[in-house]
Chain A
Amino acid sequence: MDEKKLEAARRAKARFSTLMPEGVDVVGVGIGLSGSDPALKVNLRSAPKDQSALPKAIDGVPVLYDYVGKITKR
């Protein structure tokens, strides 16, 4: 994996919390994969009412959303 792109994804992850609209129930923010490049992966408990308000990229790093529901111990 391209180390520069991975670092860019880490920076985007650090900025993510400042760019999220209020009221979105985030249950995880990590570094995933878009094609063969690192991307920001954001897990939400449920889909927000206005999905268009969610950032699609941060500083050129794509943001992927997944709706995961409740996470419990296994």
Chain B
Amino acid sequence: MPNRANLLDAAIATVTKSIDVDPLNYQGIGKLGGVRAAPLVPGMEVSKVGRTTGVTHGRISAIEVDKVVIEYDLGSLSFDNQVEIESTGTGAFSAVGDSGSLILDDENRGCALLFAGSETGGGNGRGLTYANPIAIILKRLAIDLQGN
């Protein structure tokens, strides 16, 4: 939208019945602990399970990030109030195909939804990951996370 910052990039989908998935159990991490209600803080440890990179661990490197310029097929779009995450491992926290991963805090509570990233930057130089805060996702899509 011209002259207005974007706040989220998210959608809802249903999982085909033939796919064996337990959305409440994050393999390699544990059971989903509902939604994090407390504000996110820089330095907080997080993790996720993604289609491409699987289980990865990281920390929030910045909150309330504005003017995040993201290259889409239709051109550059700017996002405000985003969450930035850096990897605490040797690899990247995320890669292409990981969009839609729920990012969990240290008590496995959903706190953000992954949607973008860079190839460089961050503590280990392997790039930064960007995510929408979970509160605006739940509000705008009128959904909830089980366990909340």
A→B interface (CB under 8 Å):
1, 10, 13, 26-33, 36, 38, 41, 43, 45, 66-74
Contact = CB atoms under 8 A, between A and B. Distances in A.
B82 interface: yes
A69 B118 contact: yes
A74 B62 contact: no
A69 B96 CA distance: 15
Interface of B: 9, 41-43, 61-72, 82, 84, 94-99, 114-122, 127-130
A73 B116 contact: yes
25 contacts: A1-B42, A10-B64, A27-B68, A29-B66, A30-B64, A30-B66, A31-B62, A32-B62, A32-B84, A33-B43, A41-B62, A41-B84, A43-B65, A45-B69, A66-B128, A67-B120, A68-B127, A69-B118, A69-B121, A71-B128, A72-B71, A72-B116, A73-B9, A73-B71, A74-B114
A7 B45 CA distance: 22
Contacts of A71: 68-71, 116-118, 128, 130
B63 to A, nearest CB: 5
A41 B63 CA distance: 9
B67 A29 contact: yes
Nearest to B81: A30
A10 B128 CA distance: 21
A31 B69 contact: no
